[in-house]
Structures are given as C-alpha cells and as structure tokens.
A and B are shown apart, each in its own frame.
Chain A
Amino acid sequence: MSKQYKLIHCTINGKPREVMVDVRASLTDLLRNDFRLTSVKKGCEVGECGACNVLIDGECFNSCIYLAVWADGKDILTLEGLEGPNGEISDIQQAFIDEAAVQCGFCTPGAIMSAVEILNEGRELSDEEIRIRMSGHLCRCTGYENIFRAVKKTMLKRLEAKKAQ
C-alpha cells in the first residue's frame, strides 16, 4: 500500500496549525519532527516512562502512544508553551531548578507537564494526591522527593497568590 496521509488542524502551544501527517506517526513524531518541539522526549515509546507527556485539551497524555492523526481538532501544550513573552521560564520550571528536581533532565519536561495539569486545577492537593498524580513518570536521578517538593511548593505559592488578590 502507498503511504497514507491526512490533513489535520490543531492548536499547538497556542498557535493554530495545519499539517499533513503520516497515519503511522505518533504525536511524539509529529511534535519533534514537524515542529522541533524537542522537550517531548522519546523514552520508552510504550507509554511507561512519561518522558513524552504533553497536555491535550488540558489532560496529560503520553504522546508516544497517541496517534498523530488523533490530534485533529485538539489543543496541545508542550513544555515550550510555558515560555513567557520575553523568554522567561515559568514558576514551576524555576521550582524544579530551586529544589534540585533536575539532574540529567530527560524526564523533566514530561514531569513538569503533569505538574501543570495539577496546578491548573487551582486547588490544594494532599501529599498523597500529588504523589499519585506524579506517578506516571520514571526518574532515575532525583529519587522523586525533590520533584514532589517542587510541585507542592509551586501549588502552595499559587494558592497564596490567589488568596492575596
């Protein structure tokens, strides 16, 4: 059979996009190869490690086991989409730095995107809930405690800022 393509429309990091995709491509393939969004890591490629995690319509998905054609009509957010207008990093990224939640950095973008999903809920999660919600990521460097601390700290900081308003 000849190669099969499909024209899809989606929003990637706030920009509307129109792109011709190979039906055999994963969303990881699409984001890395067509848009050079290399924060989306190729780790296990079977949905276990969480390094390719992105938000689709506000929910976390491992993009390695998500067909690129399924992105049609969807709103996709990768780590690059967290960048401020003048190239600033976001509070959650800064918290990962401050808490030494990064060593080799391979799991970091995926883990931060799970943190973004949690933070977007705008409510206080228990320690147990944070651990469960971050459990879809394998990190071989940090031992997870620093990641947990970075997420919790940012959550509390944002809630405090909201209260002060």
Chain B
Amino acid sequence: MYDIKALYEARSVADAIRLLQEHPRAQIIAGGSDVLVQIREGRRAGVELVSIFGIDAMRGVGYDDEGGIRIGSLTSFSHIAASPVIKDKIPVLGEAVSLVGGPQIRNIGTIGGNTCNGVTSADSASTLLAWDAVVELTGPEGVRRLPIRDFYIKAGVVDLKPAELQTAIIIPKVSYEGYFGHYIKYAMREAMDIANLGCSVNVALTDDKKAIRDARIAYGVAGPVPMRAPSAEAAAKGRAVCRETVDAFARAVLCDIHPRDSWRAAKAFREHIAVEMARRALTESIRLAGGVIDE
C-alpha cells in the first residue's frame, strides 16, 4: 500500500484543473514512475494526488494546424518511439526515449512527466531542447505556450503555475524541417541506468551539403537543468562541412557547460566526454543530413 492521503482522478483537462484548484497541495501523477517511487521511499508521505493518467485526450502524436508535431504530454516513451510521425520527421527523439530505463518503464513513463519533473538527466529533455520544442501549458487562465528552454527554472523546478498542467509538447515545423539529429547517452549500463551525460545534436546543411546552415546542441547533466551550448552552435553555423569545423564546435562546448562532481562521474570526466560526444553527435548528424566530412 502506498502512503497516499487521497486520490482524485481527473477525466478531462478541465476536470484536472478544477481538482488542482480544489486541492492546492495535491501532486499531479501521470505515469507515476517517479511519483510512486518517491512515495515508496517515504519522500511524499501522506500526499494528495490528482491522477491525470486517465485523460486519453492527452495521448498520441500528430500534426497541428501549422504542420508542427504535437505530442500529447501523456504519450508513453514506447508510443513515441513507435509513432510513424516521429520516425519520419524527428527519429532522434524516438531513439532518445528508447534509452530511458527499460521496456516496462518506457511503457508507463510519459514525455510530460519526463520534462515536468525538471530533472537534468531526462533522456527526452536534451533532444527537445535541441529541437526548440514548445511546451503547451493549460491552466485556469487558459492555454499558454513557451519555449522549453524557458520552462526549466532550476533543478527540479519548472514554470508550472498553480493548477496548471502540461498538456502537449510541440516541435514547430521550422524547427524540424531540413534538420537531422543524433543523441548519445553515456551511462554505465545499457539499460535501467541514468545518464552520466546526454548530448543531442542536430544540423541543417546548405543545399549543396557543403556548409552548415544551422547547428544546435543540448546537454543533459552538464548543469542543474538541460542546457544548450550557444558557443558551440556559433562556432559551426555558416562554416564549411569539414573536420576543423567539427573540432571547433566540440571544443567550444566547454565555454557553455558546467557539470559537477557527483558519485556518478567526476566533473573533469564529464567535460572530457562532453567534447567527444559533441564531436561524434555532430559527425553523425552531418552524415544523416547527407554531408561528407573531408578528412
């Protein structure tokens, strides 16, 4: 038995908002693979829960009116990975979420939960950041949208107002069209492990595939929240597709990231692999985009 004081089950988004207003101290529970584990560990003893698990309208992947990819916040990792839309337009997101935990966790874990918990190591977060995803939040005042980089405030804290919930994550058309990306997770085990460092890169090449039109890179565990590396992006943008560009891009990440020492890995080690991961992820992204790096 879980140490739960009360459970309120929402049937719709409006229902969830009403329940959250009526029970301001209640914690939202989606798939529960974080919340239930925390309760089991005694960290949320006597908690009140508003369960949004039953809101099927918040599940699924499709296109919005502007051609953006709309992912319902309750969509499980395995359903994201299996989605034809994701496979077609942004396969790297499917690959990234396929590295979360193990198969059973990927069936219950949701992309909304993975971002709302504000955890830097979330395998979906760096890729969403690197693709300029937009978060849709629904609350008593209505719907608002904000870039995911503004959604993260500090470790474990995201910009969710009282009685507000995240209802979708959107990848706008301008963010994915023409881009190709690759994600690398560095962890001790190949399953059921948390990233020591995660690195997601994507590029758009010029029509002749000789130069980098745009490059984007984001890390998980390189700081208290998932972050972009703007110096690295500037070092690659507009440059020729060649080994020197890739090396300059990789070296520049050290201007942006500030990982810490933890029992999982030392700061110096994280910095070392951050450069190598940037190099490899950009190299692979260029290859996927049809570019050839002259050696």
B52-80 Cβ-contact flags toward A at 8 Å (1 or 0): 01100000000000000000000000100
Quick one: which of B4, B51, B54 contacts A24, CB cutoff 8 A?
B4
Closest to B102 in A: A136
Of residues 35 through 60 on chain B, the ones whose CB sits less than 8 Å from some CB of chain A are 36-37, 40-41, 51, 53-54
A63-71, A83-91, A145-153 - the one binding chain B: A63-71
A50 to B102: give the CA distance in the assembly, Å.
Answer: 9
Of residues 1 through 32 on chain B, the ones whose CB sits less than 8 Å from some CB of chain A are 1-7, 9, 29, 32
A26 engages B104 (CB within 8 Å) = no
B1 engages A24 (CB within 8 Å) = yes
Chain B binding surface, main DSSP class: mixed
Chain A interface residue count, Cβ-Cβ cutoff 8 angstroms: 32
Closest to B98 in A: A132
B9 engages A53 (CB within 8 Å) = no
Closest to A133 in B: B103
Chain B interface residue count, Cβ-Cβ cutoff 8 angstroms: 29
Quick one: which of A65, A132, A138 contacts B37, CB cutoff 8 A?
A65
A136 engages B101 (CB within 8 Å) = yes
Q: Is B175 an interface residue (CB 8 A)?
A: no
B→A interface (CB under 8 Å)? 1-7, 9, 29, 32-33, 36-37, 40-41, 51, 53-54, 78, 101-105, 107-108, 190-192
A→B interface (CB under 8 Å)? 1, 4, 6, 22-26, 29, 45-48, 50, 53, 59-62, 65-67, 69-70, 114, 132-138
